[in-house]
Amino acid sequence: MNEHTSSRLVFVKLGGSLITDKRQQATARHDVLYRLAREVRAALDADPGLRLLIGHGSGSFGHWEANAYRTHEGVRTAEEWHGFARVSAAALTLNRLVVESFVGADVPLLSLQPAASVCARDGEIVTLETGPIRRALASGLVPLIFGDVAFDEVRGGTILSTEDLFAYLVEILEPTWVLLFGNAPGVFDGDRRVIPLITPANFGTFQEHVHSSASTDVTGGMADKVHHMVDLVTRFPQLKVRILTGLEPDHLRRALLDPDGVSAGTLICRPPSAF
């Protein structure tokens, strides 16, 4: 018997720090990927109405190449365009590993490369073709997007994170939850304790303690994630976000089936009185 029946749409990010070893170039954590894929399959079996959009970071694949060529700062010279292509190739290499892991677990994942459908202007998304994502969801598939290069009207080229893509898609697809899984158990305060709740009202209290990634991450790491998510829940009060670790077995499955019942990690939302 199924545990739940729903028609919820949940955005899930598998962070680069979770699915790769960011200390070593182009090193995937295959065991983690396989486990996460099985947990997603188990959640879909338990709740056939659950709809998912999955994104993943580039970790030690795309970020290493992007850092070498400074792709996120702009692409103009022949050497920089060569780097642009190398960053894209690195991101796609990891994407293929994610696809293989999930399809191997019988998750109907459909990879949709952002670079093929995004137009940016000075690092911000102007347009993103959502038709294939909508069709995939309507067909019972799980669309997969990922941090990728993008053509940019001002910079020539740039890098867009999964959070950039999620931020654009939230308004269009209206998910109920955004779940960000990484290595860390949540967002830390100044004493390295997990902050249980961040709201637009209290974010200023914690902002100075939220730092960029210590490893190679051209898109800003945790600081970028939290800023994006606070902005999202400010603009879309019904949305809830949770940042938590994906290293604990069965964490992903449980969070997908009952995100309101999960107490781990950091919840980012508007308090009910603010709606």
Q: Using CA atoms, how far apart are residues 194 and 196, in angstroms rounded to an integer?
A: 6
The answer to whether 210 and 187 have CB atoms below 8 angstroms apart is: yes
Looking at the predicted structure, is the pLDDT value of residue 49 above 80?
A: yes
Q: Please give the pLDDT value at position 53.
A: 98
The answer to whether 240 and 267 have CB atoms below 8 angstroms apart is: yes
Q: Please give the pLDDT value at position 36.
A: 98
Higher-scoring residue by pLDDT: 189, 104 = 104
Q: Select from 118, 77, 128, 123 the least CA-distant residue to 218.
A: 123
- Determine, yes or no, domain membership for 3: no
Share of the chain above pLDDT 90, in %: 79
pLDDT digits (tens, 9 = 90+) for 234-266: 999 999 999 999 999 999 999 999 999 999 999
pLDDT digits (tens, 9 = 90+) for 123-161: 999 999 999 999 999 999 999 999 999 999 999 999 999
As a whole number, mean pLDDT of residues 100-116 equals: 98
- Determine, yes or no, domain membership for 52: yes
Q: Please give the pLDDT value at position 155.
A: 97
The CATH number of residue 213's host domain is 3.40.1160.10
pLDDT digits (tens, 9 = 90+) for 2-22: 444 457 999 999 999 999 998
Q: Please give the pLDDT value at position 65.
A: 80
- Determine, yes or no, domain membership for 2: no
Q: Select from 206, 195, 208, 189 the least CA-distant residue to 244.
A: 195
- Determine, yes or no, domain membership for 41: yes
**Residue showing tokens 């919840």:** 267
pLDDT digits (tens, 9 = 90+) for 176-223: 999 999 999 999 988 889 999 999 999 988 887 776 544 445 545 787
- Determine, yes or no, domain membership for 120: yes
The residue ranges of DSSP E strands in 16-66, in sequence order, are 51-56
Q: Select from 98, 121, 118 the least CA-distant residue to 110.
A: 98
Q: How crowded is residue 124: how many other Cβ atoms within 10 Å of its Cβ?
A: 13
Q: What are phi and psi of 226, to 5 degrees?
A: -65, -45
- Determine, yes or no, domain membership for 236: yes
DSSP-derived secondary structure letter, 191: T
Q: Please give the pLDDT value at position 274.
A: 47
Q: Please give the pLDDT value at position 211.
A: 62
Give the chain's domain count. Answer: 1
Q: Please give the pLDDT value at position 218.
A: 54
Q: Please give the pLDDT value at position 22.
A: 83
As a whole number, mean pLDDT of residues 26-41 equals: 97
- Determine, yes or no, domain membership for 1: no
DSSP-derived secondary structure letter, 272: G
In which order are the strands placed within the sheet that holds 9-14?
Answer: 109-111, 142-146, 51-56, 9-14, 177-182, 240-245, 266-268, 197-198
- Determine, yes or no, domain membership for 33: yes
Helix (H) or strand (E) holding 65: helix 59-69
Helix (H) or strand (E) holding 244: strand 240-245
Looking at the predicted structure, is the pLDDT value of residue 92 above 80?
A: yes
Task: Domain of residue 198: give its range.
Answer: 9-274
Q: Please give the pLDDT value at position 214.
A: 46
The answer to whether 177 and 8 have CB atoms below 8 angstroms apart is: yes
